[in-house]
Copies of this chain bind each other. A is one copy, B any other.
């Protein structure tokens, strides 16, 4: 079980009042991220799915643009129904019809404009002969407006159809297309520089020397960040040299202009905490601990160049859990990306909490009861295979007593 690191004599940075809670730290992450002003960009509708609308969308045309038929049928004056009426020329969708001659009925197709002089549509299957190939049509009584979609009944000119901040789903994109739009201004994807490393870490695909491990954290962070709708503008694997790290960080920032730097590892209480050491001279970057497990050691701040930096712990499960619970929601708030939202669920079995920290357990949904979750057995932050099987993160609040089955807890769907 991870312990709160002591404020050792080696600590080059100020620390916050530690440990602080998960919610307070997430708010601090949000504040740091807001140091960079979100940008907007205009993209084609085909690239805008799930993006956050930057400005209210106002209708320049009405929908429908004209009165049109809701059915395949006959357009007539309601005053002429019921009645036997000569059939006028067929009105197909896409035509601009002539006014309906008084005392006639025009075959009309779904979506076609209702002609002047007609105010009702009788579906073809409700006519006596049930087909269009008639010289005269026998119509039942039909009320004014029946099966007519009035111009503007969906959207009037000048309506605000979508408000700024709307997450653009298929129907919203369809609506913008229906209004004649080909592109839309959305909040830009935040550009994230991802720095992982450590002397023990080897890039996947390379031979694995003794005593080394493959880098899992770049893949984890890339997936969490892109899954939220952020853009990973560069990744960097760094060795345990503070000078090398500091140098590559400044070079990468100059080269890639990130909106955020995310690091993993090198922030705890060991002798070789590369990130913590390299950032010792940064006045607005602090390290400390958060009352959560895994993910206790955390660092956070704004670099002198104005770029926010979030320093996550290096164990893969700690990195992942921190990214999901801290980075995802903060990015969603500041940049309008699609962060995970917590929901309430009930424990399927008894769970023993930690005394003073929120424990983030990996869990699965109970198939027959979607509001119930089962926690997986492992708690250690190196158990990546178990993490890969998880469907939810379960936030177990601190406390002295076991939480019985049925206890309501916060969960985040993965």
Contact = CB atoms under 8 A, between A and B. Distances in A.
A178 B213 contact: yes
A219 B174 contact: yes
A61 B208 contact: yes
Nearest to A93: B200
Contacts of A72: 5, 268-271
Contacts of A216: 174-175, 177-178
* Chain A interface, DSSP helix/strand/loop, else mixed: loop
A96 B210 contact: yes
B111 A174 contact: no
Interface in A41-58: 45-46, 49-50
Contacts of A222: 45-46, 173
A272 to B, nearest CB: 5
23 contacts: A3-B71, A8-B124, A10-B131, A45-B204, A46-B226, A61-B208, A63-B382, A72-B270, A94-B198, A94-B201, A110-B268, A112-B200, A154-B382, A154-B384, A169-B388, A169-B414, A170-B323, A173-B220, A176-B219, A177-B216, A177-B218, A181-B204, A182-B204
Interface of A: 2-3, 5-6, 8-10, 45-46, 49-50, 61, 63-66, 70-72, 90, 92-97, 107, 109-113, 123-125, 130-133, 149, 153-155, 159, 161-162, 166, 169-182, 198-201, 204-206, 208, 210-220, 222-224, 226-227, 232, 240, 268-272, 314-317, 320, 323-324, 343-344, 370-371, 380, 382-388, 390, 414
The 4 tightest CB contacts between A and B, nearest first, are A94-B199, A94-B200, A170-B223, A174-B220
